[in-house]
Every structure is written in C-alpha cells, then in structure tokens.
Amino acid sequence: MQKRKIGNSGLEVSALGLGCMGLSFGYGPATDKQDAIHLIRKAFELGVTFFDTAEAYGPYTNEELLGEALEPFRNEVVIATKFGFREGKTALGLDSRPENIRNVAEAALKRLKTDVIDLLYQHRVDPNVPMEDVAGTVKDLISEGKVKYFGLSEAGVSSIRKAHAVQPVSALQSEYSLWWREPEQEILPTLEELGIGLVPFSPLGKGFLTGKIDEHTSFDQTDFRNIVPRFSEDNRKANQALVDLLGNIASELGATSAQIALAWLLAQKPWIAPIPGTTKLHRLEENVGAADITLRAGDLEKINQAVSTIEVQGARYPEHLQKNVGR
C-alpha cells in the first residue's frame, strides 16, 4: 500500500489506517481477543501501518489489545492514541489537565508495550484547560522522547491555531465522509494553510455507506448508533437514497460502495489518511482494496454532483455529545 505524508511534520503512514475502537468498544460486544489480534496482524500483512486507539476505548482494553497485537513489528507501524477524559471514561467528562495528560501518556506506554507514542491526540477540546497548556504539555513529552507527534480530535479552527502556535499539530482526526462534509467549509482550508494532515474517522458513515444497513437493521443494545439521530429508523430510511446512489456509481466502476466512499476521500487531498474500522476480515480486505482505486476527475465530478442532490437527514451526534465537538 502507498504511504502518505500527513502534514508537514514528517509523519508518514499508510494511505489507509485501521480504526481499532470497534474491536473493543462502541459497536456492541467486544471481539474475541485472538480474533481481534488476528485481524490487526492481517491488516499489517495487507500493508496497513497506521493503527488508531485511545485510552477511552474500553477503557484501556483497546490499547492493551493493540500493544499485544503489534508487538512483533512495533518498529514498522505508527500507533496513535488519545487522552482527554477523566479516568478514561467518556461518561465522567473531560480532563486535559497537564498532570492527567502525563499520567495517561505514561500508562499508555505500558499498555502499548512501547517506549514512544507515535501520535498523541487530545480526544476532545477541554474548555476548562487553556489549549496553550495542553499543547505545552505534549511539547514537553515530545522533548522527553515519549511522544513523536501531536494531534487534535474534533477541534475547531480557533483551538487548532492556538495549539499549533505552541507545538506544531501534525494531524487532526475528525469525522469526514460523503455523508458528513462539513469539514470542507473551514477545517480543510485551515489544515492546508498550516500544513496539518487530516485523519477521517467514520469514513464509511459508521457503516451506513457500505450499503449493509437499512431501516430494518437492529443494533446490539450497547451499540453507540442507537443514540445517534442520523441512525433513527426514519432517518435511515430517508438516507437510503445516498446509499443507493453510491451503489449505482460503484457498480459502474466495478467496485463496492465502501471502496468508492474511501477512494473518494483519498482523492480529496494527498494529506488525508482515513481510518475505517471493522471486526470482519473480508471487510478489512475490501477496505484495503480501496487504496488501489484511482478515481478520475470525471468520476469525482459525477459523485459530487450526484451527492449534492441529496440532503442527509439527522444530526451525527446526540445533543450531549455534540457540545464537545468543534470547540
């Protein structure tokens, strides 16, 4: 798989990464540990060198899983993890105090079985802690050799600029896909100006853009999508038009809907590296196949024109979580 430099800081990753959250957290019961290790190692065999986790995924269990799975080839991969929640639990609220950042980094190093974190993100902007203090703490961790690169997740333009002025930000991780294009308004131009890469999570719309979810799909009771307005039964029915359209384009190009959605993202900017997640080997192989698809200008224009005729229904987060993004 081709590599990409995301941003101007020298961080190089595989064009597609692997978002590992769903193996442990967020989308129903955790995957069997040995099956999860096998999938992570299979991703590496297929050319994936960029793996994303966080202390909050579990909490802690996802980092431990990644540490064990990647240990045999640790020096050949880039591991990204995140700090920013009290005790690693999203329900307890935000905590980006410098002492917590340090504690999380030290604990993550042990769980990941490594002596350095390649990319350390602030998971969500904490309004109670000045961004200058957050960036300054990570800058210190970088100077101590415990972290290589600094990232932000779901941050707004003001926070990105404040952080970047203290410690260059290498990557922003935010949702971006054919059914969530808001970053094109302010975020992408800012990242381009500052030389920061974009790591889109949920590049397949939390599974919806694969065409395998419809209004009749039922999710496990612990699945995060149960509380996402965009995934209400009515909105899934309304949003089916986008999936149908994507499916038609994909069949014309001899690919799957998921592959076209990922190839479209890769074609937007050379400094974008999406991190689709999956628990299934055949989906992993399908996603990785997207890196070999080059959409021509005519294909991209056709996709953009078609998608612009459809207004996606439903918010991407429930209200209590929406307040934590874009700060």
Catalytic residues: 57
Beta strand 18-19 with 12-14: parallel, antiparallel or unpaired?
Answer: unpaired
Cβ contacts of residue 167 below 8 Å, gap of 6+?
Answer: 135, 136, 138, 139, 142, 150
**DSSP calls for 11-74:** -EEESS-EE-GGGTSSBSSPPPHHHHHHHHHHHHHTT--EEE--TTTTTTHHHHHHHHHHGGGG
Handedness of CA 70, 72, 74, 76 (dihedral sign): negative
Q: What CA–CA distance (Å, rounded) separates 316 from 225?
A: 10
Where b means 16+ CB within 10 Å and e means fewer, 61-90 reads: bbbbbbbbbbeeeeeebbbbbbbbbeebeb
Determine the length of the chain: 327
Q: What CA–CA distance (Å, rounded) separates 200 from 211?
A: 19
Assess contact for 7 and 196: CB atoms under 8 A: yes
Quick check: helix, strand or coil at residue 81?
Answer: strand
Residue whose structure tokens are 């024109």: 305
Assess contact for 57 and 313: CB atoms under 8 A: no
